[in-house]
Amino acid sequence: MVGIAEFAAGSRTVPDAEEAIDSAAWPPLPDAGDWAGRVAAMLDELGYQVTLLAGATAPTAADLGAAVTRTIQEVGPDDVVIVHVITHGDQPPDLDTAYAIGADGRRDEACNVDAWVRTVVAGGDARPRTLFLLDFCRSGVATVPRWHRRPFQASNRAWVLAASAPDSDAFDCAFSRAVVQVLREVAAGDFCTHPSRPTVPYLAVSARIRDVLAGYHGDDVLLPVQEPTGTPIDTMTAARLDLPFFPNPDHRRAAFDDALASMDDRLAEFAREVDDLVDPRHFRDRAAARWEAGRRPGLFQGRERELRALSALVDGAAAAVPWIVTGSPGVGKSALLGVLVCAAHPTLRHATEEVWGHLPAPAATPHLAAVHARQQTVDAITASLLTQLAPESASESASAEALLEAVADRPVAPVIVIDSLDEAIDSEELSTRLVVPLTRVRRPDGSAACRLIVGMRPWEEFEPLRRAVARAGGTILDLDQVPATEMAGNLRAYVERVLRAGRWYGSVDGHWFVTAIADGVAATLTRTDDAEPRWGGFLIARLFAEYVAHTLPPVTDQAQAERLLAQIPASLPEVLEMTLRRPEVGPWMRPVLAALAHARGVGMPPKIIRAIAPLFAPEDLGSPSTRDVRRALADGRFYLRQSADVSGTSVFRLFHESLVEYLHAHPRAVSADAASESAT
């Protein structure tokens, strides 16, 4: 980090002169040392080892050039270097290069910034990844060296962000001011980069520096607008650009759990190997029956009879007939299918053993294809299944006919799992064009060509599918049609597992209250006064138990336990409203969740959430800051799923379709009575 504020008389280029001549000193840059120090402090916070040359240690031109060159040449190829310089810049006439001026006021060949870039590029893979942040006039000339005739590729090791265009000036340390602000946002996590990404995207940071600089005018409203510039990038490469200069603080926090980081890597490998619509996180988290499953033991409990029957189907021990798994939202459809997919897929099986190992799960099979249909088109789902079952056919045609033919031609009838059929973009078309034909397709010997398992809600528009399954001799498993005593036992055991997995209720002091809480939840959720339940007991039990275990103050006496039992919710809206009424929950949680009820595809990024949330907020709240949105997302984490878009930015969506429906109907605050009525 270099900030030169005072300059001795030296050699300056004078217009119309044939060579540099001695002249008066360069004018001072009184804030240069201060802003160089601030940039240094932010980079230190991000984990860099910083050398600051400013004030009394401000270098001469020769020393500055030597320090930059020495750093580039001495560090290793796996290191990352940032060179930040605030000084005057000098561009000789007719030369496509610029020089950084030293404290001695001189221009030295060692400070030819074009040569700095060339030193890194010419060294190839032996050089460190290096970013030059150049805050001086004409510095943009270093971004377009004449000797490099093509746009830079992602493998390039020298990158430049310059304060000004090649033929323009820089003013008032404005570029460095913008860099400090943006680095502060990086450190605070304001870019919302997904925790799986080790760095904040370079293009996002550089664009943000440009935007901040465009809005800076200092104390002088007549100050010219600077035009920062950067190393040109091949547009075909930009989407894959993954540069290591700006560490993602959320990744650093996630990496404290090495086992979780390992899980993410294996699941990412699985997703690349198979297809992104398989959505391994969906199946893993549903199978685990807990929020943020990671590498922790799964808490799925009960449904053993159903699991054994479905496992026999997957293992080939039962007849190859189609199955429908149906029931109200949150009754456990996806959890059942999650166990099957996690245990049966050869790659996912070992990475998720913790979530299914205590259950009667199927064996691994190479004859498995699975898709999570939420917000997916018929064509996308068809292509996903083809990619998994017959990659050679997927490259030629992704039609339903091609899939049916590929399924019929396989030597072994594959297991095909389609979860959340009702949440597809056009679920009725998906059922008609693809799923119903899959129930009918036969092998040459007349036997069923696949073992089809479909998870869906019991909607009327799926009646043709139910009839097709019945004609094929299949099974419709309605998880709502379970005896109340059996369901109560399953819920009780599940809530006990969730609570005992928490710190307090797993301790010698807290475990005394587990049974009473679990009994109360089971009794509330198995009342028989609702002939057609709208909300599945397991979803409500999961959310409430996690809420009790990880958010509410610990229950420490009988009176406190009785108060808790009196407010056990009977519906998903009641759980949500209970959370929203907590005094420590910020005012933006509900507007943010209401905005996410309108998310499509993989989800909505925080920038869009911030723009939409005010539509659902009281007028006196104004507009949320980035930190307001981040806090709301943290407050509502139990209700969210987080993933990454192609740029690495975190995107969010509500974790269950029933939440989407409720927040569509009730985007603003409702009374406790109104929330209770939503369950009926």
The 10 Å Cβ neighbour count of residue 215 is: 8
Which pLDDT value is given to residue 184? 95
* pTM for the full predicted model: 0.63
Which pLDDT value is given to residue 675? 53
Same domain, 288 and 400: yes
Same domain, 58 and 205: yes
Same domain, 346 and 402: yes
d(CA 630, CA 637): 10
Same domain, 415 and 466: yes
Q: Which residue has the higher pLDDT, 646 or 136?
A: 136
Residue 517 falls inside a structural domain: no
d(CA 330, CA 638): 14
Residue 100 falls inside a structural domain: yes
Same domain, 58 and 138: yes
Q: How confident is the model at residue 284 (pLDDT cuts 50, 70, 90)?
A: low
The per-residue DSSP string of 482-549 comes to S-HHHHHHHHHHHHHHHHHTSTTTTSTTTGGGHHHHHHHHHHHHT-TT-SS-SS-HHHHHHHHHHHHH
Last residue of a domain, one of 450, 478, 506: 478
Which pLDDT value is given to residue 576? 86
Last residue of a domain, one of 217, 252, 287: 252
Same domain, 449 and 311: yes
Same domain, 98 and 121: yes
Q: How confident is the model at residue 147 (pLDDT cuts 50, 70, 90)?
A: low
Q: Are 84 and 179 in contact (CB under 8 A)?
A: yes
d(CA 52, CA 54): 6
Looking at every residue in the chain, the average pLDDT score rounds to 82
Q: Which residue has the higher pLDDT, 267 or 500?
A: 500
Q: How confident is the model at residue 294 (pLDDT cuts 50, 70, 90)?
A: very low
Mean pLDDT of 631-653: 82
pLDDT digits (tens, 9 = 90+) for 576-620: 888 888 788 899 999 999 999 999 877 899 999 999 999 999 989
Same domain, 245 and 272: no
Which pLDDT value is given to residue 396? 56
Which pLDDT value is given to residue 338? 84
Same domain, 304 and 229: no
Residue 488 falls inside a structural domain: no
Same domain, 187 and 311: no
Q: At 617, phi and psi to the nearest 5?
A: -110, 155
Residue 564 falls inside a structural domain: no
pLDDT digits (tens, 9 = 90+) for 25-35: 799 999 999 99
CB-side neighbour CA atoms (13 Å) of 195: 19
Which pLDDT value is given to residue 529? 60
State the CATH number of the domain containing residue 618.
Answer: 1.10.10.10
**Cα–Cα separations (whole angstroms), residue 60 to 9, 70, 81, 310, 322:** 12, 15, 21, 76, 79
Domain enclosing residue 602, as ranges: 571-677
pLDDT digits (tens, 9 = 90+) for 302-356: 678 899 999 999 999 988 999 999 987 777 888 888 888 888 988 778 777 777 7
d(CA 433, CA 39): 59
**Cα–Cα separations (whole angstroms), residue 329 to 290, 324, 335, 611:** 16, 15, 12, 30
Mean pLDDT of 5-27: 64
Q: Are 633 and 625 in contact (CB under 8 A)?
A: no
Last residue of a domain, one of 427, 452, 478: 478
State the CATH number of the domain containing residue 378.
Answer: 3.40.50.300
Pick the range with the lowest mean pLDDT from 495-499, 537-541, 631-635, 668-672: 668-672
Which pLDDT value is given to residue 23? 54
pLDDT digits (tens, 9 = 90+) for 203-230: 999 999 999 988 765 555 445 678 899 9
List for the chain the helix, strand, coil content (%; round to 5).
Answer: 45, 10, 40
Which pLDDT value is given to residue 444? 84
What angle do helix axes 400-409 and 378-389 make, rounded to 10 degrees? Answer: 30
**Number of folded domains in the chain?**
3
Does residue 62 carry a pLDDT above 90?
A: yes
Residue 511 falls inside a structural domain: no
**Token pair of 657, please?**
């379709």
State how beta strands 650-654 and 11-12 pair. Answer: unpaired
Residue 229 falls inside a structural domain: yes
d(CA 314, CA 467): 22
Same domain, 278 and 409: yes
**Token pair of 19, please?**
């060579």
Residue 580 falls inside a structural domain: yes
Same domain, 89 and 148: yes
The 10 Å Cβ neighbour count of residue 31 is: 17
State the CATH number of the domain containing residue 61.
Answer: 3.40.50.1460
**Token pair of 140, please?**
């943009």
Query: What are the residues whose beta carbons fall under 8 Å from the beta carbon of 133, sequence distance 6 or more?
Result: 39, 82, 83, 84, 85, 161, 175, 176, 179
pLDDT digits (tens, 9 = 90+) for 392-438: 765 556 788 989 999 998 989 999 999 989 888 788 899 999 999 99
Beta bridge partners of 448: 442
pLDDT digits (tens, 9 = 90+) for 69-89: 999 999 999 999 999 999 999
Q: Give the residue among 313, 367, 324, 320 at the shortest CA–CA distance from 454.
A: 324
CB-side neighbour CA atoms (13 Å) of 67: 20
Beta bridge partners of 83: 132
Place of tokens 């709208």: 534
d(CA 150, CA 389): 41
Percentage of residues in the chain with pLDDT exceeding 90? 39
Residue 509 falls inside a structural domain: no
